[in-house]
Structure 1
Amino acid sequence: MDEHTAVGVTDAVKVYGRGESAVRALDGVSLGFAARRLTAVMGPSGSGKSTLMHCLAGLDTLDAGRVRIGRTELTGLSDAALTRLRRDRAGFVFQSFNLLPTLTAEENILLGLRLAGHRPDRAWFTTVVDALGLRPRLRHRPGELSGGQQQRVACARALMGRPAVVFADEPTGSLDSRSGAEVLGFLRASVRDLGQTVVMVTHDPVAASYADHGVLLADGRVAAHLAHPTTDTVLAALTDLGA
């Protein structure tokens, strides 16, 4: 990978099951995800998009092929090394928020750093919190926040360690359209204003339209690339795939 590629995968193969029941979730995928860009990964159900993200992020391992984050190759890393890499180099935003209900918003945002024994950068904390409009909500617990506010807390937590890449897995899947637009707007702004790299798995053509680049998977293979995707071009591409 060159210096402009934040994360990449080469000849990726992932198989679930054995014998006649085996499913090739990834079948020779090679992709590079540009630094300081938002890339949307799309495809029909069962296309391999979630498997790809899990392997890129070190949450799952390939059966063949290579994955790199920056210059670090994940293939062959020990479980402890993978844990450190996920902690120090990756941020995560999931559909289900994954906030601890007994902690305040501020405590949830800082939890990852504190578990790692790192002192938070208060200036960066202020930058992220203000960008997300969370300052009035920092003392609230998740149960006192709307779904959109909870997801913004999750976005802030993902950014606090200044990760090389943020992996967002269906980040608007549990949100209404207005809250989803707020979260997508922030992910877009984190790329534009904060220089973040974001890889987002989504089934939603509207969400994909916030991306700089779109990748479509089908049957575990790369089926198409979309530069500057729009809702209409994504819908047309998915229709061509029979999705």
Structure 2
Amino acid sequence: MQMKVVGHTAVAAVDLVKVYGEGDTAVRALDGVTVGFDRGRFTAIMGPSGSGKSTLMHCLAGLDTASSGQVLLGETDLTRQPDRVLTRARRERIGFVFQSFNLLPQLTAAANITLPLDLAGRTPDPQLFDRLVTSLGLAGRLTHRPSELSGGQQQRVALARALVSRPEVLFADEPTGNLDSRSGAEVLHLLRDSVRDLGQTIVMVTHDPGAAAYADRVVLLADGRLAGEIDRPDIASVTDALQNLAAAR
């Protein structure tokens, strides 16, 4: 199956299949998923446990290889690229925010933010750096190491690190999972603001209807297949959709 990727599509899956294992023990985590994610929009991926949502995100981000089908980052087919090209794409075109903050404990907040650019031999845009640390409330914390920061502050550092390279797509995997409700809401507001103010594209996996309500759109998965989507979601519409998916299993 071929999918024409138009200019507003940042990343897409085309007839994507992912199988783990072989023979009688094989698990079909993704079963022919075709879905696109528009530039400058915030999309949440949701579904019951085992639905394939994390597998889809990992394949889209080039962190896992598909069994068949395509992953298109812009017009680049990631499933046809050698490891060195994938590594470069992850470093230069894709941003990541995970449930665990993945900060280096020996580095200051400022050094953690610029680390990927430093490794790539690139210089941060000073205006963007200043804008990010100001909007994320980190201006007074740049000389602090992770152990001197709260969980919410550490996740803000991780978000600044992901955004400072101007990625084409930012993937967020349960970004509020290790945060209290107040810190989690702050991070979600900041993700929302990066879409509105910076034109960032965000694809987020979450199990939380409250988190998904910050998105422009929710893509639903069940048993490795697309199971619908919600435009302009709110907590009630997401909760109802998840309950319907659970009842149908």
> TM-score band (shorter)?
over 0.9
2:79 maps to amino acid: T
Cα deviation, residue 20, structure 1: 1.2
- Tell me the TM-score normalized by structure 2: 0.97
Match of 1:161 in 2: 165
Aligned with residue 237 of structure 2, among 216, 233, 238: 233
Deviation at 1:73, TM superposition (A): 1.1
Give the ranges of 4+ consecutive aligned residues of structure 1 lying more than 4 Å apart after TM superposition.
none
**Partner of residue 52 from structure 1, selected from 38, 46, 56:** 56
Aligned counterpart, 1:42 = 46
Q: 2:142 aligns with which of 134, 138, 142?
A: 138
Q: Structure 2 matches for 1:46-195, cutoff 5 A?
A: 46-195=50-199
Structure 2: which amino acid aligns with 1:121?
D
Per-residue displacement from partner, 1:60-106 (whole Å, max 9, x unpaired)? 11011000111111012111110000001000000000000000000
- Secondary structure in structure 2 of the residue aligned to 1:196: coil
Following superposition, the deviation at residue 223 of structure 1 comes to 0.4
Distance (whole Å) between structure 2 residues aligned to residue 81 and residue 110 of structure 1? 22
Equivalent position amino acid for 2:228 in 1: A
Provide structure 2 residue ranges, at least 5 long, that are not aligned to the other structure: none
Counterpart in the other structure of 2:210: 206
Structure 1: runs of 5+ lacking an equivalent: none
State the AA in 1 paired with 2:235: T
Alpha-carbon distance between aligned partners in 2 of 1:34 and 1:135, rounded to the nearest angstrom: 32
Partner of 1:219: 223
Match of 1:6 in 2: 10
TM-score (norm 1): 0.99
Matched length: 243
Instruction: Please report the RMSD computed on the Cα atoms of aligned residues, expressed in angstroms.
Output: 0.7
State the Cα distance separating 1:21 from its structure 2 match: 1.1
